Structure 1
Amino acid sequence: MSTTSAPPAPLTDQPLRGLALIVGATLLFAYTDTANKLLVTDYNVPLVMAVRYITHALLMIAVVAPFQGRRMIQMTRPALVIVRGGSLALGSLLMGLALQRMPLAEATAIAYLSPVLVILLSGSLLNEAVSPAAWFAAGLGFGGVLLIARPGGGLDPLGVALTLGNVVFATGYNLLSRVLARTERTLTLLFYTALFGAIIFGIMLPWTLYGQTPTALQVVLFLSLGVSAGLGHYLLTQSYRYAPAAILAPMNYLHLGWAALFGWVIFGHAPDAIAIIGIALVASGGIVSATMARRRRARAREEVAAAPEETV
C-alpha cells in the first residue's frame, strides 16, 4: 500500500467554523454514549464496540470508498495514524466499561478532563500559542466539571478509574488529530479509525458474541452507533483544520450539556441546580474562547494593514 497521498486541504484560520463543527460532533458523541449505556446494560462492552466499529468501517467502504478510491487508504504518517486509531478504540472500551457502573452525566464530566489536558499540552507539544483567554476558558470549563461531577459524591471507584483511563487515551487522540490534520485527509483518518476498531474488537467476537436476542429498538441502536460515532469523529477531525487545539478544547465541554439532557430525558437523571450552574460555566468557556480568538484576529489584521503605512 502506498503511503503517499494527495495533500489534504490546508489548515486555515477559521475558528468559528471549527467551533460549529465541534458543536455537531459533541451532540453526536452524546447520542453515542447514550446508546452505548442503553446497550451495555444487556450486552458485554466488547460486543457493543465490535458492532459500532464494524458498522462504521462497512459504511466507509460501501459509501465513501467508491468516490474516494485509493485516496481513502493512502497515508503519509502511518505510525501516528495507527496510534491515533488505537487510542480511540481503547478509550472507547474503557468508557463503555465505565458506563456500566456510572450515570451518563458524571462519567462524561470526568471524561472531559481531557480538553483541559489538551490545552495544557498543546503549547509544548504542538507549538501553538496558548493565550490567557484560552487558560481562562479552560478554567471555566474545569470548574463546571467539578460542579457537575462533585468529587466525593459516591461514584463507583472502578468506574472513576476506567473513565480516567479514557481521559488518557482521549487526550492522545485529540492531540494527534491536530498533528495529523497537517498531512492526512480527514476521510483517511476516519477510515483507519473505523478499521482499527473493527479489527481490535472483531478479533474478540468469538468470545463476546453472546447475550439475549436484540429487540427492534436495540437493533436500531446497534446499527446507529457506527453512523453517529463515525460522523461525529468526521466533524471533530475536520474541525482541527480550521482552529488550533487550544481554541477548540473548551467547546468540547458542550458534550456535558448534551449528556445531561439525554440523561434527564432517557434515564430520568435530571440535573440539579448546582449541575445547571456547572453546565453554564462550561458553555461560557466556549463563548469566551471564540470571542477572544475573534478579537485577536481582528487586531492582527489591523496591525498588518497599518504596517506598510508606517514604513512609507
Structure 2
Amino acid sequence: MSAESRIVARTEDPTRGVPCGSGGTRLALAALFCGVASSVLLKGVGGLAPGHAIALRSGLAIALLAVVIGVRAARGRVGRLDRAGAARAALDALAGLTFALAIFELPLALLSAIQAAMPLVSVALAALVLREPLPRRALLAIAMGFAGVIVILNPGLGASPLGLALALISTLAYACRDLVTRRLRPEADMLKSVILSSLLIGAAGLATAGLPAAPRMPHVPDLARLLAAAVTFLGANTLIIAAFRRAPVARIAPLRYTSILWALLFDAAIWGHYPDAATWAGIALIVTGGLILLRPASP
C-alpha cells in the first residue's frame, strides 16, 4: 500500500485513533467468559426469586466496587461520570436485567444463540444512528443474522414467550450500549458507570420481585454463588469497556460468538441441555453472517 493509500485509509477509518493490538482481544474474551459464568452462577442459585437473586448480586457488586472506588479516591484517582457514562449505565442496566431474567426462562444456549445477533444489530444501528457506511455485504450479513434468529426462535416458540421477549430486548439494549461505549471519553470513570448500572439493575430486580414476605439470608452455597456471580459480573462489565478502549468494534464484535461455545458447554455439563438441529442451523447462519461482515473489503 502506498503512503497516499495509507493516508486515505486512515482518514476514512471510523475507528481511527483506536489501537488495534491484541490487548483488546484478550480483554474482550475474558469479559465474555465472565458474562456467561455470571449467568451460570446466578441461574444456579436456588430458593430465591429471580429478582431477589439479581438484587443480591448487584448489592454485592456495588459493595465490592465501593471499596475499589474508595481506595482510588484516597489516592486521588477519581474520575467523573459524564452523560455518556450515565446513558451507558442505563442501557447496561436494561440489558443486564432482561438478560438475567431471561436465563431463568430459557436454556442458556438458546439465549446466547439469540444474543449472537448482537454484532449485526450493532452494525445496523451504527449506520442509522452514527451514519456509518453500510456496504452490501453488511446488508447480507444482517439478513443472514436475522434469518438465523428466526430459525432458532421457530422451534424455540414452544419455550417461554416471556423469555424470548426478554432475550430480544436484551440483545437490542446491549447493542445500543456498545454504541454508547464507543463514545465514552478517555477521562470518563468506567467504574462509576458500572456501579450506577449495578444499582439500577438491583433496584429493578427487586421491583420485579417485590419484597419477600419473610426475608432470609441465602444458604452458604448460594451466597458463595452470588458472590462469585458478582465478581464475574464486574469482570464482564469493566473488561468490555477496557476492550473497547483498546480495539475497534470490528475486532471485538466477532468475539461475541465465543459466548455460544461457553453457553453450550455449561448447558450440556450442568443442565444436560443439547441444541437441536434447527438451533445448530440458526447458529451457523448467524456466525456465517458475522464472518461475512468481518471479511476485509476488496481493494
List aligned pairs for 1:108-119, cutoff 5 A: 108-119=112-123
The residue identity in structure 2 corresponding to 1:235 is: L
Matched, 1:82 2:86: yes
- Correspondence for 1:42 among 32, 38, 47: 47
Equivalent residue, structure 1, for 2:5: none
* Structure 1 residue 272, shift from structure 2 partner: 4.2
1:57-108 residue CA offsets vs partner (Å, 9 max, x unmatched): 1111213431355644512x2x332232122223222223322222111122
- Provide the rounded CA distance (Å) in 2 between the counterparts of 1:90 and 1:97: 11
The residue identity in structure 2 corresponding to 1:102 is: L
Equivalent residue, structure 2, for 1:5: none
Equivalent residue, structure 2, for 1:216: 220
Aligned partners of 2:29 and 2:255 also within 8 Å: yes
- Provide the rounded CA distance (Å) in 1 between the counterparts of 2:209 and 2:275: 37
Closer, same or farther in 2 for the Cα pair 1:238/1:32, shift >3 Å?
A: same
Closer, same or farther in 2 for the Cα pair 1:267/1:234, shift >3 Å?
A: same
- Correspondence for 1:155 among 159, 182, 186: 159
Which deviates more from structure 2 when the two are superposed, residues 81-90 or residues 49-58?
81-90
- Provide the rounded CA distance (Å) in 1 between the counterparts of 2:206 and 2:156: 38
Aligned partners of 1:102 and 1:156 also within 8 Å: yes
- Correspondence for 1:12 among 12, 18, 22: 18
* Structure 1 residue 221, shift from structure 2 partner: 1.0
Q: Where does the alignment leave 5 or more consecutive residues of structure 2 unmatched?
A: 1-15
Aligned partners of 2:155 and 2:278 also within 8 Å: no
- Provide the rounded CA distance (Å) in 2 between the counterparts of 1:211 and 1:195: 20
Closer, same or farther in 2 for the Cα pair 1:216/1:286, shift >3 Å?
A: farther
Which deviates more from structure 2 when the two are superposed, residues 114-123 or residues 127-136?
127-136
Aligned partners of 1:71 and 1:188 also within 8 Å: no
Aligned partners of 1:98 and 1:159 also within 8 Å: yes
Closer, same or farther in 2 for the Cα pair 1:71/1:11, shift >3 Å?
A: farther
Matched, 1:175 2:174: no
The residue identity in structure 2 corresponding to 1:80 is: A
- Provide the rounded CA distance (Å) in 1 between the counterparts of 2:266 and 2:233: 16
Equivalent residue, structure 1, for 2:60: 55
- Provide the rounded CA distance (Å) in 2 between the counterparts of 1:95 and 1:171: 13
- Provide the rounded CA distance (Å) in 2 between the counterparts of 1:126 and 1:60: 32
Secondary structure of the residue aligned to 1:235 is helix
Matched, 1:126 2:130: yes
List aligned pairs for 1:202-281, cutoff 5 A: 207-208=211-212, 210=214, 214-272=218-276, 275-276=279-280, 279=283
The residue identity in structure 2 corresponding to 1:51 is: L
Secondary structure of the residue aligned to 2:246 is coil
RMSD (Å) for aligned C-alpha atoms? 3.5
Closer, same or farther in 2 for the Cα pair 1:256/1:92, shift >3 Å?
A: same
Secondary structure of the residue aligned to 1:241 is helix
Secondary structure of the residue aligned to 1:271 is coil
Secondary structure of the residue aligned to 1:43 is coil
Aligned partners of 2:144 and 2:285 also within 8 Å: yes
Secondary structure of the residue aligned to 1:252 is helix
The residue identity in structure 2 corresponding to 1:158 is: L
Closer, same or farther in 2 for the Cα pair 1:26/1:169, shift >3 Å?
A: same
Matched, 1:31 2:30: no
Identity %: 25
The residue identity in structure 2 corresponding to 1:254 is: T
Aligned partners of 2:88 and 2:181 also within 8 Å: yes
- Provide the rounded CA distance (Å) in 2 between the counterparts of 1:152 and 1:203: 28
TM-score (norm 2): 0.77
Secondary structure of the residue aligned to 1:180 is coil
- Provide the rounded CA distance (Å) in 2 between the counterparts of 1:144 and 1:15: 31
